[in-house]
Homo-oligomer: A and B are copies of this chain.
Amino acid sequence: MPRREITSFSNPTIKALRSLREKKHRQRERRFLAEGLRLLTDARESGRVPEVLVMAQRRDPHPLIDALESAVEQAGGDVIETTPDILSKITGKDNPQAVAGAFAEWDTGLERIERDTAPIWLVAQALRDPGNLGTMLRTGDAVGAGGLILIDDCADPFGVEAVRASMGAIFTQQLARARWEDFLPWLRGADGSGRGQLVAASLRDAVPFRGAPYTAPCFVMVGNESQGLPLVYEEACDLRVTMPMRGRADSLNAAVAAAVLSYEVLAALD
């Protein structure tokens, strides 16, 4: 399909793109939005090409935009030029970048995770803040984690805010969603052959996080922003660690805790 120009807010394709900002439409369509040349280039280089590529009219030319356009056309996707106003409405930002894309969501089954491909995996349990989720993906990329496993009822990792906070890591980190009842047997292996150390910060029966005996593949788990991890989840861990708390609070932001812990695991396993 050749590049086409759309300048009407009421065009059905534009309306469909805008609707992806809402969870119910996103989940029905199983498509999501990502914005910006860097993010879309990360996606392309990770083998993810948008089904629809939207570009601003009168943008500055850029070889990476050309590369994106070629990739989308080769994959049989749709390339649209539109006004900055419409692009702004699609992305929800006052000053949108020159390109945005609508991607098909991919399968997030636990069976797709190959645990031996990375020394660290992040696990989020009932995390409700999409910014925290995206930040965990970004941190996972930084520490060389394989991906993020979402346990129980988490925020949508394909939502606009999570994708933005991930800074492209949504495309490079593996992603799985599972119930705890399915995750734990998967981790342990049906025949007890499963390898993997499940680690969480805890106040119960825990050792100092610095210098703790981490082993790969290490699954670093954090719990819900308000409730923390359920007790039985903590008890199922192979290793419980404490982090210094010198003030009045007894916990860190969930994405911060995951990051501080992951950097310690990285130092131990490196």
Q: What is A's interface to B at a CB cutoff of 8 Å? A: 42, 45, 131, 135, 138-144, 165, 167-169, 172, 210, 243-249, 251-253, 255-256, 259-260, 263, 266-267, 270
Contacts and interface: CB of A to CB of B under 8 A. Distances in A.
Contact of A141 (B169, B249, B266): B249
A245 B168 CA distance: 14
A252 B248 contact: no
Contacts of A259: 252-253, 256, 259-260
B252 A138 contact: yes
A155 to B, nearest CB: 14
A165 B253 contact: yes
A252 B139 contact: yes
**Oligomeric state, in copies:** 2
28 contacts: A42-B248, A131-B131, A135-B253, A138-B249, A141-B248, A141-B249, A142-B244, A142-B245, A142-B246, A143-B246, A143-B247, A144-B244, A144-B246, A144-B247, A165-B253, A167-B249, A168-B248, A168-B249, A169-B248, A244-B263, A244-B266, A246-B266, A253-B255, A253-B259, A256-B256, A256-B259, A260-B260, A260-B263
A270 B210 CA distance: 13
A248 B266 CA distance: 16
A79 to B, nearest CB: 25
Contacts of A42: 248
B172 A256 contact: no
Contacts of A263: 243-244, 260
A131 B131 CA distance: 9
For the complex of A and B, the 4 pairs showing the least CB-CB separation, nearest first, are: A144-B246, A141-B247, A256-B259, A135-B253
B143 A249 contact: no
A31 B245 CA distance: 30
Nearest to A167: B249
B165 A247 contact: no
Contacts of A251: 167
Given A243-B263, A260-B263, A263-B260, A169 B249 contact: yes
A172 B263 CA distance: 27
